[in-house]
Structure 1
C-alpha cells in the first residue's frame, strides 16, 4: 500500500512538471538589437538573460544577454520590450530662401550673391552646379531663411521731355562731317635726297663712239651734274624711286692750218635724265639694289666760226631711252639721310643729226655714275 502511494505521488509530480514546462515555453519572435529576428520558444525572461529554444533546434537551450535583445513579440500579439532602442535623431529640415517675382512666381532657393542688376542663386539637390540668375527688375521681394524680408523697389522711370518744336525761321546749320586726318604712316613712307652726280663714259665700252670723240662728237668722257631722288615705300622691303637729273657739257674745237687758226666749232650738250625704278632692300640695313629705266632729253647745239660772218648755228633736241641698275647704301641720323649710290646706265642714242657738218650720232652709250645725295627720310624699313 505504501509503495502504491509513492508511485502515485511520483506520477503526479511528473504530470505537474510536464504541465509547468508546457506552460513556460511560449512561442514568440525574438528581435535582437542588430535588428535580426529569431523564431523561438521562450522559457525564461530573467533579469540578466533570456532563456529560449530555437525553432530550428527545439532541444537545444540557448541563453542570450538582455542587452542584445530589443523586444519579444509573442504569438498572442503582446510585445515585451527588453532593451529600448533610442529613436534616430530626426533629420533637420533644410530651410531655404524664397524669391518672389513680380508675376507672383515663387522660387525656393539659396541666395548666393547680388549685384547692381542681378540676383544669383542655387537650387539644392537640382543636380546642376551652375548658379541661376534673375534680374532685380523682375523681383518683388525676398524672404531669407533666417526670417528677414526685403522688398525690392522698382527702378524709377525717367520721363524724357519731348524736344521743342523747331522755330520756323530757324536755319539749320549743316553738319560738317570731318574726314579723318591723313595717316602719318604715309609720311613715314617718304624720303627725298638731292646731290651731285659724276658720270663716266669709259672708252673700253664706248670704243669708236662719236660720243667720246673730240674731233667730230661730243668728246665726253666724264660729266658733272646733279640729281633729285624721291623714294616712296610700297611694301616693307621695296620702295618706288623717281629721279630727275641735270648735266651740261661744252666742247670747243679749234681748227688750224700751217699753225694758223682757220676756224672754230663749239658743241654744247644738256642732258636731263628722268628715271623710275625700284629700291629693293635685301635686309633691314641700309644696303639697296636699284633696277631702273626711263628717258633722257638731249638738247644739243653746234656753232661754227662764232663771231665771224661765216658763223653757222644749229640746235637739235632728242628724247632717247635709257635703262640700267645700281647699288647703294643709306646712312640715317634721325631724319637726316645720306644716300651714296653707284649705277650703270645704257642710253640708246639714235637720229641725233647735225646738218652743218653732216654728222649723225646713232649708238648705245655706256656710262657709270657716282652720286652722293643728302636729304631727309622717315621711311622705315
Structure 2
C-alpha cells in the first residue's frame, strides 16, 4: 500500500479526493477516517462508484464533537491496517489551514503522525518529509496549489450520487462545518504539499483565536512581516505620544510573544506584559528585556483585581474574543489605548462607546492600512485587515 487518504469524515473522500482515487485506479488505496477511528481499503480495479460505496457505512451525519485521535492513534491505524505496507509512500489529508477548524486540526495531527518534527513520537517507519493537503475550505487564506485536478462529468455524477444517497442529511445540516454546500463539492480539486513545520505554522495561523495558536513560534509572523513591523512601530510611536516612561508603568494586555513589548522596553518604559496563553507567555518570559514584568493575567483578571495602577493600558489587537467591554471601566488607569481592525471597531467598540459615559475618545488614528501579504514562506497569502487606534480617556482626565 503506497497511497493513503486520511480524512476526518468519510464523505470528505467524495467531496475533495476523487481525483486521487482516479490517479490510483490500479492500486489499493487505504482510507483513514478520523471521526470513526477506522480504516478501509478501496481495492484496485473497482469503479469510482464501487469504491465510494465502501465508505458509505462510515458516514456519520450527526454532530462534529467527538474527540479527535492523537498522532499516535493515526500512526497505529496506518501500521495496523491489514492491506498496508510498512508506512505510506504518499499521503493526502486536510489542509491544516482549513477554515473548518476540526478538519484543520486533523490535517495537522496527520502531519505530526508521519512527519519528523521536534517532540514527535512517530516511529521511524512512518517518517515522511511532507504530506499532500487538499486546499479545502478557507475564505480568508488563499493557499497556492501545487496541483489542480479537474474532475470529469462522470466523476462529478459519482460525487453527487454518493452524497445524495449516503450523506443527504448533510445537505441540511445545522452544524456549519458538516453542511455540504455547492462550493464544498469542487469540480476542480486542488492540493499543496506541506512539511511538518509548514503544517504547524498553517494550523497555528488558522487557530489564531484559540490556545492552539501557540503550537508554532510567532504564527502571525510579527518578526518577519513588513506589514507587522510597520504596524508595531506605529503602535509604539503612538503610545509614546500619549504617555512617557516617566509617567509610570504601562500594562500591555495580551502581549503574545512580546514584539510590541520589546519596542516599548527599548523606549524606556516599564512594561507589565500580560499573556494568558502559557505557550506564548513562556516565549515572552524567555525573551523579556530589563524593565519587563511578565504576568499570566487576562483582561478579566486585571479588571477584577484592580491592583495594577498604570499610566496607560494597551489593548492592542486583542479585543477579538468577545470580552465584556465594561471591564475597561474597572481598569485602574485613566488612559486606555485600543487598536483593532476597522470592522471590529465599527461593530463592537463604537456602539458600546455611544452608550456609556465613563470614557471619551481623545484620538482616533490609522496605525496600518490593509494590505495583501504572503505567509508561510509564500505557501499562502491573505488580507491583513489593517489597524486603527482609539485613545480612551476617563471622563475628567486631562493631559
What TM-score range do you get, normalising by the shorter chain? under 0.3
**Which is richer in helix?**
2
Which structure has the greater CA radius of gyration? 1
What TM-score does the superposition give when structure 2 sets the normalisation length? 0.18
Q: Which has the higher contact order (CA 8 A, sep 6+)?
A: 2
What TM-score does the superposition give when structure 1 sets the normalisation length? 0.19
